[in-house]
Structure 1
Amino acid sequence: MQWFSKSRSSKGGVGEGKEPIGGDANQPRLAVAHFMLGNTYPFTEQDWMKTFDLAEDTALDGLALNIGPEEWQLAQACTAYRLLSASNHTLKLFLSLDLMVLPKDPELLVGKIVKIVQSGQSAQLKWDKKILLSTFGGHDLGDDGWREVLSGFKNALGEKVFFIPSFFLPPEEILKKDYVDGAYHWNGAWPMDNSTTTLDSDRPFLDHKKPYMASVSPLFFTHYGTEGEWAFNKNWIYRSDDLLLPRRFSQLLSLPPDKSPQMIQAISWNDFGESHYIGPILGAQPGSESWTEGMDHEGFRLITKYYIQQWKTQMSGTDSKEKGRLIVWYRTQSRDMVIAEDRVGKPDHAEWAQDLLNFFIVLPESKYSTKDHYNLHVQNAGEPVKPYLLNVGVPNLIHIHFKLGEVFFKVMKNNEEVVIEGEGKDIAQGGRWNYNMWTGVYDAK
């Protein structure tokens, strides 16, 4: 039973105390997440409704359904459109054609798209009153092929299409295509080398007049070998340890109005094979159980929700309805672990990993006085770490070098009262190579 396409390859409101951030208040802003239909083989209608509920709770406007060639993926996409169109959700859907695995056949693509959208047209996400359509790859279909797809889609449904593909081409080549209405830069979500994240690769898109969809992601780790059922031969990481998700969001939120993206896509909701899921593990896994078991990512979902709400309201700070919260995330192995019980080798770029505990801490002004002092206290491997002074009313982003052993942390008020406390997962030796991360969420008492 195939739950994942085996030829798939290199994918790599406004509250008290808030301040305006970059952006045009009159310009609509969309936030969506990439969703793998390839992991939904066993999905029931109840699973779809749970997904819609949680995506909407995350402040998302839509899910980009990545679709491959299998007939059951087509059936699940139709089910999703049908269920959502009959519900009271504000969430919408749109298609991301995975041209790494789909046939390069315009007629087939048109038929697939039309069948899905007609299953529940009110569920379709639109931009500028046009049906939103995206891709993962596909520039090799050719200009004439894409014109045929877009005209066929428009003629069949009688509606205009807003085409915003993720083509893996130089920016200027993408943007000059007359049938491309906007651009989506997939690889902007992670540094492509051993450095911290920047907006350098986004600049050509941000400087162009066409709408831009920026990408964000919490991490990237995939660990497939060359033998067995899941022989994808994908085994690498991107540098992700040093506060990647909040740093990337903060950089995008800091942009001035005329340089801001119109859309943000989170990679991903449920791509377990590449470890960047922000949703729960639900449905099928593409042979990724060894690196996702016990690795809850609810913390990434809540960080995404926090920044999306700010991006939409275009205000910074903490909402008066929020309570104090600490989110922690880290790998549970050291990058310097030498021996692993693993037939698949150590991932490429493993040396880019940083042995860091990452913290996102918010203390809303409505509940915490700036006259008091708050500190983060961490104990790792039985040793205390120097306390970190925390600010009230803004996110506190902290990373601390870790050692093998237990992890404890607490937020103290005036060095007397415990406000938040918790225990993380132990950092240990042994087992298979695992550069996925565990997240923990701890709320104030």
Structure 2
Amino acid sequence: MVGNTYPYTVYDWLDDINLAHKHALDGFALNVGREEWQKDRVLDCYQAAERSGLPFKLFISFDMTSIPSESTEDTGLLLDYVKAVAYHPNQFRSDGKVVVSTFAGEHSRFGCETTNQAWTAVKMVLEKITPIHLIPAFFVDPAAHYNLTCTDGYFNWNGGWPVHLTPESPPEEIRCPKLDSDSHHLRNLAGKTYMAAVSPWFFTHYGEDSWNKNWIYRGDDWLFVRRWEQLMAMRDKVDIVQVISWNDYGESHYIGPIKGAQPNSQAWVDGYPHKAWLELNSYFARAFKTGRYPPVTRDKIYMWARPHPKDAWAPDDVPRPRNWQLTDDVFWVVAMATAPAVLMLSSGTEDSAAFHIQAGVSKFCHNLIPGGTMKAEMLRHNHVVAPCEPDNFRFQINPRVYNFNVFVTEST
């Protein structure tokens, strides 16, 4: 989200690029909106990528919920970006063509009558500069792909969450819900580039006087890991995986550090680090790229939880988020063991549970006790080989605000 990088310098971008590359990410999709200052941040990012000396690629994703698109003149902003980066050595290309993506855009018309006519016209303008490989995230029925001759692929942005769930969904459908939208799109893409989404969480909490976005998607059931496992099983059909997101604090799915300029999300983001997810993600990113899960060479625990009971009351001007009933009051654990071990989980002093685990990756959960914490220990031969208990987390009984974000931690 370039919109969250207003105070960034080239050095901030360089830090992010080095951190991302260290954790097996190959590039950034730069989501840009209408603000003129974002052009400078994008140029800074490209400069940092070149300065890094890394094979780190970048591409522009136009946020069409922000960028005007009523008239033919509105193509000017898109053209400015393509002119600026098309021949940069760190520009991401597909078959030699500059990759361009979008968030939304299915309602953009640029003076035309249909979506296909509009984006065909946009491509004609952009291709005066360079050939374009368009992979948009249009929110359309998969059957519409047949008529979208303007596109070279599709980014299934919503594919990383069970967006279909409501509190009225059957309980058996809510637990470990299916993420099956990929197949519907793939059936209709006729061999075009397919970019899949993976995301660890989703919670946004803006009132009617702001962006009027206040809901959750169910991120329980180790969503991040289950989605990666699903993508591994279908990797022969997926060309690109985009992790949502590096720094979208407003929707609580950031895996990078909390820095830059938050979009008035401090109430549910400050004090809730997610960087442990970045390391967890690197394991699966390496697996996806090679086709084989890496061997576990270090005993490790990853763990996350929300900060208060889902039905707790808070003196918050913004009400509980829509779909709050869909989440569970538990903490989620992913254990990576080098050899068989015992995993101990607890939230209080008298609720511990023990699990015998094998070498490799295992998934567990444990009930949260109001006023309690989350604690996990991996033991082998009665010796703790991986302790995990954050000092600054408590499952609060009386929260100040409704916060359905998560505190993410890892063993030391």
Deviation at 1:110, TM superposition (A): 3.7
Deviation at 1:189, TM superposition (A): 0.9
Match of 1:155 in 2: 128
1:183 aligns with 2:165: no
Structure 1 residue matching 2:58: 3-state secondary structure: strand
1:201 aligns with 2:174: no
Which runs of 5 or more residues in structure 1 are unaligned? 1-35
Match of 1:410 in 2: 377
Q: How does 1:22-421 map to 2 (within 5 A)?
A: 36-104=1-69, 105=72, 106-118=74-86, 121-141=88-108, 142-157=115-130, 160-192=131-163, 193-194=165-166, 195=174, 196-207=176-187, 208=189, 209-227=191-209, 231-255=210-234, 257=236, 260-319=237-296, 322-337=297-312, 339-364=313-338, 368=339, 373-392=340-359, 394-404=360-370, 405-414=372-381, 416-421=382-387
Cα distance in 1 for partners of 2:153, 2:342 equals 45
Deviation at 1:67, TM superposition (A): 0.3
Cα distance in 2 for partners of 1:156, 1:317 equals 42
Deviation at 1:85, TM superposition (A): 2.6
Q: 1:61 to 1:150 in 2, by over 3 A?
A: same
Q: Which amino acid aligns with 1:359?
A: V
Contact 1:242–1:354 (8 Å) recurs in 2: no
Worse-matched range after superposition: 292-301 or 203-212: 203-212
Deviations 1:323-354 (A, max 9, x none): 111110111111121x2021111111000111
Q: Provide the alpha-carbon RMSD of the alignment.
A: 1.6
Q: 1:309 to 1:167 in 2, by over 3 A?
A: same
Structure 2 residue matching 1:252: 3-state secondary structure: helix
Cα distance in 2 for partners of 1:203, 1:261 equals 11
Contact 1:222–1:236 (8 Å) recurs in 2: yes
Q: 1:87 to 1:433 in 2, by over 3 A?
A: same
Deviation at 1:293, TM superposition (A): 1.1
Worse-matched range after superposition: 68-77 or 419-428: 419-428
Contact 1:77–1:116 (8 Å) recurs in 2: no
Cα distance in 1 for partners of 2:78, 2:344 equals 57
Deviation at 1:301, TM superposition (A): 0.9
Structure 1 residue matching 2:351: 3-state secondary structure: strand
Cα distance in 1 for partners of 2:251, 2:75 equals 31
Deviation at 1:52, TM superposition (A): 0.7
Contact 2:246–2:254 (8 Å) recurs in 1: yes
Deviations 1:81-125 (A, max 9, x none): 23323430211100100000101045314422223315x611201
Contact 1:277–1:297 (8 Å) recurs in 2: yes
TM-score, structure 1 normalization: 0.84
Contact 1:81–1:116 (8 Å) recurs in 2: no
Deviation at 1:175, TM superposition (A): 4.5
Deviations 1:13-66 (A, max 9, x none): xxxxxxxxxxxxxxxxxxxxxxx0000111111111111111111211111100
Deviation at 1:203, TM superposition (A): 0.7
Q: Which amino acid aligns with 2:9?
A: T
TM-score, structure 2 normalization: 0.90
Query: Relative contact order (alpha carbons < 8 A, sep ≥ 6): 1 or 2 greater?
Result: 1
Report % sequence identity: 34
Q: 1:198 to 1:389 in 2, by over 3 A?
A: same
Worse-matched range after superposition: 187-196 or 59-68: 187-196
Structure 1 residue matching 2:401: 3-state secondary structure: coil
Worse-matched range after superposition: 186-195 or 345-354: 186-195
Moved over 6 A (4+): none
Q: 1:62 to 1:383 in 2, by over 3 A?
A: same
| Equivalences, count | 388
Contact 2:39–2:81 (8 Å) recurs in 1: no
Contact 1:62–1:93 (8 Å) recurs in 2: yes
